[in-house]
Amino acid sequence: MEERQRVRRPGGRSARVAAEVHQAVTELVGERGYGAFSVRDVAARAGVADSSIYRRWGNLENLLADVVLTRLNARSPMPDTGSLAGDLRTYAANVAREITGPDGPVLLHLAIALSKTGQQGVRAGEGLRAERTRQLQSMLDRASERGEDAPDAFAVLDHVLAPMYIRVLFGMGPLTPEYIDGLVDRLLSVPGEGCRARRA
Amino acid sequence: MEERQRVRRPGGRSARVAAEVHQAVTELVGERGYGAFSVRDVAARAGVADSSIYRRWGNLENLLADVVLTRLNARSPMPDTGSLAGDLRTYAANVAREITGPDGPVLLHLAIALSKTGQQGVRAGEGLRAERTRQLQSMLDRASERGEDAPDAFAVLDHVLAPMYIRVLFGMGPLTPEYIDGLVDRLLSVPGEGCRARRA
């Protein structure tokens, strides 16, 4: 019985409902902004019952986190080009394309909005970041296994993702390939712990 | 006559009105989020006439930009410690204190929200960034005049401010002094941006 189903069937009705609900959320965030709509609004827009959303996602925050996670991660698989510089450049270009695409600013605002919605939102946001960090770390681990000197995932967040996010969020011009590659090159040019360690 | 005054008297009625209006905006953004209140709401909260706000700021976007500019800049004057590393560490610590303070997340969200409110918001946001860039550049210029190898203001935005902003916006733990100093040290360690000259 549909009410008790716990395992999702890929490609079936369950997947169609998820796609419709995700699209409804993206549209509502874009039109009204975060915090200005309810599960009921999402259900009405997607043409599904409120109960379908609660059954599957539990609450609005989990649904929003799932939308952001799916759009900012799963749609952009981690590259495997054979070199760390190649992987990071491709990864950064993929992220840039996502956040400068039609839904990108909405998704970024949503990721940020989740962090200020109390415990449920914070937990959902943490889940989102943990998943992204895990995917990124697997790419960095491959580089280490090849003998390359890889930065940690937080350095990638701070020095490749954060500058791109902030420039998009502040509406500061396009993210050119030169700019994106420059962020990656700079990250990889920092020697170990940086010049403090080398001076010591 | 008050209606025609163009020059503000510091510390007088004009300054009190500005302080009350700024406080009202900060409270309303914190309570309702951006886009969920009007000039009328601000005026009612501050206990002033709508016309006083329109006369002084022209529109809501300019008022919001003025609030962000005042709180994130003027309240944190650019340091002048005698060395670029000292200036950047102090500056970064000041910014960290602002954005992790009680009104910090609200101010950051407001700065970001301004970028997606059409032309008026974009212009107000550009004014905000231009003022911050100008102040930062004067600090970097002093370092260059002392013979230090200074990065440009955009590198400070990308590699010191953006990581701190994103970590606060995503609710990712405290900004420790070690973390903040590490961002500055890394910025100055990039070849051609400080470390090489200081090692020489």
CB contact under 8 A, B109 and A116: yes
Which pLDDT score, from 0 to 100, does residue B43 have?
A: 97
pLDDT top residue among A194 and A191: A191
Closest residue to A170, CB basis, from B34, B112, B186: B112
Is the confidence at residue B48, as pLDDT, over 90?
A: yes
Which pLDDT does position A176 carry in this prediction? 96
CA A187 vs. chain centroid, Å, equals: 20
Q: Which residue has the higher pLDDT, B99 or B118?
A: B99
d(CA B2, nearest CA chain A) in Å: 36
Of residues A186 and A197, the one with the higher pLDDT is A186
Q: Which CATH number characterizes residue A53's domain?
A: 1.10.10.60
Which helix (DSSP H) or strand (DSSP E) does residue B159 occupy?
A: none
Check whether A10 has a pLDDT greater than 70.
no
DSSP assigned state of A47: T
Overall domain count for chain B: 2
Phi-psi domain of A80 (left: phi exceeds 0; alpha: psi -120 through 50; beta: other): beta
Chain A partners within 8 Å of B172 (Cβ):
129
User: Within 13 A of B87's CA, how many CA atoms are on the CB side?
Assistant: 24
Q: Provide, as residue numbers in chain B, all residues whose Cβ is less than 8 Å from the Cβ of A158.
A: 159, 162-163, 166-167, 183
Is B96 contained in some domain?
Answer: yes
User: Residue A91 belongs to a domain with what CATH number?
Assistant: 1.10.357.10
Q: Do both A27 and A94 map to the same domain?
A: no
Which amino acid is located at B179 in the chain?
Y
Provide the shortest C-alpha distance from residue B199 to chain A (in Å): 7
Q: Measuring CA to CA, which residue among A136, A102, A120, A134 is closest to residue A63?
A: A120
| Separation in Å, CA of B10 to nearest CA in chain A | 31
CB B165 within 8 A of CB B145: no
Q: What pLDDT sits at residue A5? A: 44
Q: Let me know if B77 is exposed, middle or buried by CB neighbors in 10 A (0-12, 13-18, 19+).
A: exposed
Among A58, A78, A93, identify where a domain stops.
A58
Do A54 and A84 belong to one domain?
no
Q: Is the dihedral of CA A136, A142, A145, A151 positive or negative?
A: negative
Looking at residue A198, what is its pLDDT?
Answer: 36
Within a domain: A81: yes
Quote the crossing angle between the two packed helices A104-114 and A13-32, to the nearest 10°: 90
Tokens 């005042």 sit at which residue? B70
Asked if residue A179 belongs to a domain, the reply is yes
Q: Is A105 in Cβ contact with B109 (below 8 Å)?
A: no
State the pLDDT at residue A191.
65
Residue A55 has pLDDT above 60, yes or no: yes
Ranking A6-20, A53-67, A177-191 by mean pLDDT, the lowest is: A6-20
Q: What is the mean pLDDT of residues A121-128?
A: 72
Q: Mark whether A45 and A136 lie in a shared domain.
A: no
Which of A39, A58, A77 finishes a domain? A58
Q: Residues B83, B161: one domain?
A: yes
Q: Is residue B168 part of a domain?
A: yes
Q: Give the long-range contacts of residues B30-35, CB within 8 A, separation 24 or more.
A: B30/B103, B30/B106, B33/A33, B33/A34, B33/A35, B33/B109, B34/A33, B34/B64, B34/B109, B34/B110, B34/B113, B35/A33, B35/B113, B35/B117
Shared-domain flag, residues B7 and B102 = no
pLDDT in the model for residue B177: 96
Output the pLDDT for position A147: 94
Please count the residue pairs, one from chain A and one from chain B, whose beta carbons lie less than 8 angstroms apart.
95
pLDDT band at residue A172 under the 50/70/90 scheme: confident
Arithmetic mean of pLDDT over chain A? 82
- Mean pLDDT, chain B, whole residue set: 82
Closest residue by Cα to residue A103 from A134, A77, A76: A76
pLDDT category at A193 given cuts 50, 70, 90 is: very low
B83 domain residue, yes or no: yes
Q: Do B40 and B103 lie in a common domain?
A: no
Q: DSSP secondary structure string, B43-83?
A: HHHHTS-HHHHHHHHSSHHHHHHHHHHIIIIITSPPP--SS
- Average pLDDT on A9-27 reads 83
Whether residues A165 and A123 fall in one domain: yes
Q: Indicate if A26 and A98 belong to the same structural domain.
A: no
Contacts of A195 (CB under 8 A, 6+ apart): B185, B188, B189, B195, B198, B199
CB contact under 8 A, A159 and B161: no
Average pLDDT over residues A85-98: 92
How far apart CA A75 and CA A95 sit, in angstroms, is 10
Regarding whether B47 and B90 lie in a shared domain, the answer is no
Q: Do A115 and B34 touch (CB under 8 A)?
A: no
Whether B170 sits inside 8 A of A122 (CB atoms) is no
pLDDT value of position A116: 64
Nearest to B88, CA basis, from B152, B44, B145: B152
Could you tell me if residue B26 is inside a domain?
Answer: yes
Chain A residues contacting B, CB < 8 Å? 33-36, 105, 109, 111-112, 115-116, 122, 125, 129, 157-159, 161-163, 165-167, 169-172, 183, 186, 189-191, 194-196, 198-199
Q: Are residues B27 and B82 in the same domain?
A: no
For B173, half-sphere exposure in the C-beta direction (CA atoms, 13 angstrom radius) is 9
Q: What is the pLDDT of residues A59-85, one digit of tens each?
A: 888 888 888 877 766 566 789 999 999
Looking at residue B117, its pLDDT comes to 61
Q: Which of A49-58, A94-103, B118-127, B130-139 has the highest mean pLDDT?
A: A49-58
3-state helix, strand, coil in chain A (%, to 5): 70, 0, 30
pLDDT of the residue at A148: 94
pLDDT at A76: 65
Q: Residue B75's pLDDT is what?
A: 61
The minimal CB distance from B199 to the residues A166, A172, A199 is found for A199
CA B140 – CA B136 distance, rounded (Å): 6
Q: Do A87 and A184 fall within a single domain?
A: yes
- Residue A63 lies inside a defined structural domain of this protein: no
Residue of B102 and B150 predicted with greater confidence: B150
Residue with the two structure tokens 């004067």: B138
* Mean pLDDT within A88-109: 86
Cα gap B189→B181, rounded to integer Å: 12
* Same-domain check for residues B97 and B147: yes
Q: In this predicted structure, what is the pLDDT of residue B194? A: 45
Longest Cα pair distance anywhere in chain B, in angstroms?
Answer: 62
Nearest CA among A39, A41, A71 for reference residue A55? A39
Residue A197 is assigned to a structural domain of this protein: no
pLDDT reading at A29 higher than 70: yes
- For residue A155, the enclosing domain spans 68-192
Q: Tokens for A47, please give them.
A: 């043409």
Question: Helices then strands (H, E): number in chain B?
Answer: 11, 0
Query: What are the chain A neighbours of B159 within 8 Å (beta carbons)?
Result: 158-159, 163, 186
Q: CB distance A165–B163 less than 8 Å? A: no
